[in-house]
Amino acid sequence: MKVRITFSVVLVTTLIAGVVAFAQIPGMTPPKHYAWSDKTLSPDARADMVIKELTLDEKIQFLHGLGWNAMFMPPESGPGTRAISAGGFIPGVPRLGIPDLQMTDSVEGVSGAGDKGRYATALPSAEAMAAAWDPALSYEIGTLLGHEMRAMGFNMSLGSGINMIREPRDGRTFEYKGEDPLLAGTLAGQELKAEKALHLITDLKHYAVNDQDAGRIVVNSIIGKRAMRESDLLAFQIALKDSGAGAFMCSYNRINGIYACENPYTLGVLKNDFGFKGFVVSDWGGTQSTVNAALAGLDIEMPGNDSFGEPLKKAVEAGQVPMDRLNDMVHRILRTEFDSGIVDDPPHPDSPNVMQGFKVAQKTEEHGAVLLKNEGNVLPLSAASIQSIAVIGGHADVGVLSGGGSSQVSPAGGNAVPPPPELLKNPLASFMLVEVYHRSAPLKSMQEKAPHAMVQFDPGTDPASAAALAKKSQVAVVFAVQHASEGMDLANLSLPGNQDALIEAVAAANPHTIVVLETGGAVIMPWLDKVAAVVEAWYPGIRGGQAIANLLFGDVNPSGRLPLTFPRSEADLPHPIHLAPPKPDAEHPVPKLAGAPGMIGMAMGIGPFFDVHYDEGLKVGYKWYDAENKAVLFPFGFGLSYTTFAYSGLTVAPGDSPIASFTVKNTGKRAGIETAQVYASLPDAAGEPPKRLVGWTKVELAPGESKQVSIPVSRDRLTIFDEASDSWKLTPGEYTLRVGGSSRDLPLQKTITY
């Protein structure tokens, strides 16, 4: 009954809000018609027409996001303009009908909406989205995000993030989409394609090689051009091609000695090689110069400094920045506004469809959670026969964990686990250290699944107490958490807070121990051989409790696959020692930086400059472990199901884009979804790691059912980047296509020759 009442209230509220919004439109003053209002003209032509009408001051206004304080007060650009959140704001030109740019972070929901008393759906983390390996679901996620952004008045999204997971201890791993450029680029591309279809400016970040947050503004990422082009930059290239994104956000770090926001090589690749027609916007406070940044390709600076305000105007007047370049900067912004549709179809206030948000959030978690171990088929649990369950740790009695920082979605109803008051008094601590739990309690959902069982909770703070409850229970489910956030990196990949010892104690007391991980990425599992089952739930979002219960009790058959490798130990990483800013001394002083004042500077980890050498080069993620012949805890692409699958009959139709065809059979007794993956091993002369992902598809199968699957492998997925000619080339020789259920389970293979 409660669900029906809630649904009715939400539905009525939504309908009323929609009627009110619609009723306001006929009474509004009709928009003025300008020459560039003609929708039959190209976005470029419309932009050029507007530029002819702009003053120099108005042009500069487009390129300079207002300061931090100005986002919380009426800006100076005139009537009708205001920032609607602390995300980002650039005032438009009302006299010419050019709207404000209202930006919001939207990696896993509209962040900060609660600060303005609004509701936004808290989706599972981007790592969970990636673990679904499902482009159609990514499009559905983008559609939800797009509707909610527009409902709140935003017209520009500040997602998606697709930095490669070169450093798994990065505090923002949960915001990204794994370690493979094809997987990350494809999923991000579909998400942003959906947002653009709803008339939003979309954004890809953080460009580029921004793989750690500790000292992110003083770190120098040293990496070869080929390694960049075939991994980090390739992910952005694929996403741009699929989405038509209107903006790229350049990152804080230096790349080979030059800041990303003034790096002529990476920005040149973007605008020339990728054919990007949109604009480049700095990360917040990431601009370190005026002339160098403008000439290299930065188009908009965002708050924290003043490089593109009055200093840029003076540089233009002095001839240091040509007027042609200034006009190009403005043109890129205006043509993107016309191309995206925000001028012709601006957002109108509305109420979010809460029930649709619940549906997409729960579906994402159910498709993205990964079953890592299931010894003796302890899962799924049987609601009919189970008599007692011990639920232990992770605040599972009240909610599920989320990641922190600028992507934080406000928890509906407030934080389920109120933080210590002293943390709330410190803005920096609040930004990075406060652990936010969404109010979706796994305990409650499990009790509802097994109403006749005794389902009891222990907080897990005392291993002895938890073990005692586990010993008298039929099954023990331990919820283990690992908080991560922007502005920090993890000290290591171990579970914090003595949770390894907790799991060991519970497993010793009950052989039917199941571990549910709520983490931002990979973790080390010294207790793996002692537990019966492990589920990687990531940060599971606003319906996490319900989704986890459905997975544990078999209402949903797990189908998630890992988008990143879980190593056996940190010693196996390309960089076993995680580098962070050294302590300042006479030889290593703290530099003076334009974009990092106050609290935000501390969150960036300011310290002496330091270098990180990406000497693993092309060997990112699973490619490293393959090339170094290292055993792993769980490989890229891995995930179990409550059924089993078999592969057979691989054939390859040759050509510029070969097609791999094979049969997948469900050999178990339950319906399930398999992620069939295709990898390619290139000729030795190519100098590549042993294999790379070149395609995949989702296959839904009933018990005993077989389906023939065909996966095209486009020629560009087989090429390598040749630095000497600055081009992509196909190496002559033998190519082996390998097919199976993970990067280390590939039973089928065929060789073709080019």
Q: How confident is the model at residue 411 (pLDDT cuts 50, 70, 90)?
A: very high
Least confident of 15-19, 375-379, 635-639: 15-19
pLDDT tops 60 at residue 358: yes
The DSSP line for 334-358 is HHHHHHHTTTTS--------HHHHH
> What pLDDT sits at residue 304?
61
Q: Give the mean pLDDT of 112-138.
A: 93
Partners of 365 in beta bridges: none
As a whole number of angstroms, the distance between CA 125 and CA 131 comes to 10
- Band of pLDDT at residue 600, cut at 50, 70 and 90: low
| Cα–Cα distance measured from residue 588 to residue 201, given in angstroms and rounded to the nearest whole number | 41
pLDDT level of residue 429 (50, 70, 90 thresholds): confident
Q: Where are the domains of the chain?
A: 2-340, 364-571, 643-753
* AA letter at 10: V
How many C-beta atoms lie closer than 10 Å to residue 592's C-beta? 7
Is the pLDDT score of 214 beyond 70? yes
Tokens of 12: 């009525």
CA dihedral (648, 654, 655, 656) in degrees, to 10, reads 50
**Sequence-distant (≥ 6) Cβ neighbours of residue 110 within 8 angstroms:** 104, 118, 120, 121, 145, 148, 149, 152, 154, 409
Confidence of residue 655 (pLDDT cuts 50, 70, 90): confident
d(CA 552, CA 396): 14
643-753 has which fold?
Answer: Immunoglobulin-like (2.60.40)
Cβ proximity of 154 and 468 under 8 Å: no
Provide the pLDDT for residue 169: 97
Residue-wise burial string across 97-116, b where 16 or more C-beta atoms lie within 10 A, e elsewhere: ebbbbbbbbbbbbbbbbbee
> pLDDT-derived band of residue 23, with 50, 70 and 90 as boundaries?
very low
Please list, in sequence order, all residues whose beta carbon lies within 8 angstroms of the beta carbon of residue 85, skipping any fewer than 6 positions away: 71, 102, 104, 112, 113, 115, 116, 152, 154
pLDDT at residue 26 greater than cutoff 60: no
On the question of pLDDT at 555 being above 60, the answer is: yes
* pLDDT (mean) for 628-634: 98
Q: Note whether 449 and 431 are within 8 A (CB).
A: no
Rounded CA separation 551/130 (Å) = 18
Residues in the chain: 754
CATH topology of domain 2-340: TIM Barrel (3.20.20)
Q: Is 705 helix (H, G, I), strand (E, B) or coil?
A: coil
More confident residue, 518 or 607: 518
Does the pLDDT value for residue 24 go beyond 60? no
Which has more confidence, 13 or 247? 247
The three-state secondary structure class of 116 is helix
Q: What angle do CA 398, 402, 407 make, to 5 degrees?
A: 145
The pLDDT of residue 31: 72
**Looking at residues 344-373, what average pLDDT do you find?**
96
pLDDT of residue 315: 97
**Packing angle between helix 43-51 and helix 323-340, nearest 10 degrees?**
130
Residue 585 pLDDT level (bands cut at 50, 70, 90): confident
User: Which of 414-418, 596-600, 741-745 has the weakest average pLDDT?
Assistant: 596-600
355 or 432, greater pLDDT:
355
What integer is the mean pLDDT of 584-602?
74
- Say what the pLDDT of residue 580 is: 86
What's the whole-number mean pLDDT along residues 322-333?
A: 98
**Once rounded to an integer, what is the mean pLDDT over residues 299-317?**
91
Beta bridge partners of 736: 681, 751
SS3 694: strand
Q: Which tens digits make up the pLDDT trace of 668-703?
A: 999 999 999 999 999 999 999 999 999 999 999 999
Is the predicted pLDDT of residue 139 greater than 70, yes or no? Answer: yes
Residue 69 has what pLDDT?
57
What sign has the CA pseudo-torsion 148, 154, 155, 161?
Answer: negative
* Position 11 confidence tier, pLDDT thresholds 50, 70, 90: very low
pLDDT at 251: 97
Q: What is the mean pLDDT of residues 383-397?
A: 97
Question: Is residue 379 within 8 Å of residue 552, measured between CB atoms?
Answer: yes
Q: What is the pLDDT of residue 346?
A: 96
Strand partners, 374: 533
Averaged pLDDT for residues 545-549:
98
177 neighbors 618 (Cβ within 8 angstroms): no
**pLDDT for 87:** 82
Q: How do strand 720-722 and strand 727-729 relate by DSSP bridges?
A: antiparallel
261 with 288: CB under 8 angstroms? yes
As a whole number of Å, the end-to-end CA separation of the chain is 65
CA distance 745 to 740: 6
**pLDDT tens digits for range 155-164:** 999 989 999 9
Q: Is the pLDDT higher at 416 or at 600?
A: 416
| CATH tag, 364-571 | 3.40.50.1700
d(CA 607, CA 591): 7
Least confident of 109-123, 212-226, 418-432, 645-659: 418-432
Report the pLDDT value the prediction gives residue 595, as an integer from 0 to 100.
Answer: 67
Q: Which 8-state DSSP code applies to residue 29?
A: P
Q: How confident is the model at residue 582 (pLDDT cuts 50, 70, 90)?
A: confident
- Residue-averaged pLDDT of the chain: 92
Average pLDDT over residues 99-113: 93
Residue 75 predicted with pLDDT over 90: no
Q: What is the pLDDT of residues 447-492, one digit of tens each?
A: 999 999 999 999 999 999 999 999 999 999 999 999 999 999 999 9
pLDDT band at 750 (very low <50, low <70, confident <90, very high): very high
pLDDT band at 29; cut points 50, 70, 90: low
Q: Would the pLDDT of 344 be above 80?
A: yes
The pLDDT of residue 3 is above 70? no
Tell me how far apart the alpha carbons of residues 719 and 330 are, in angstroms, rounded to a whole number. Answer: 36
pLDDT per residue over 177-209, tens digit each? 999 999 999 999 999 999 999 999 999 999 999
Q: Give the pLDDT band of residue 604 (cuts 50, 70, 90).
A: low
> Would the pLDDT of 434 be above 70?
yes
pTM, rounded to two decimals: 0.94
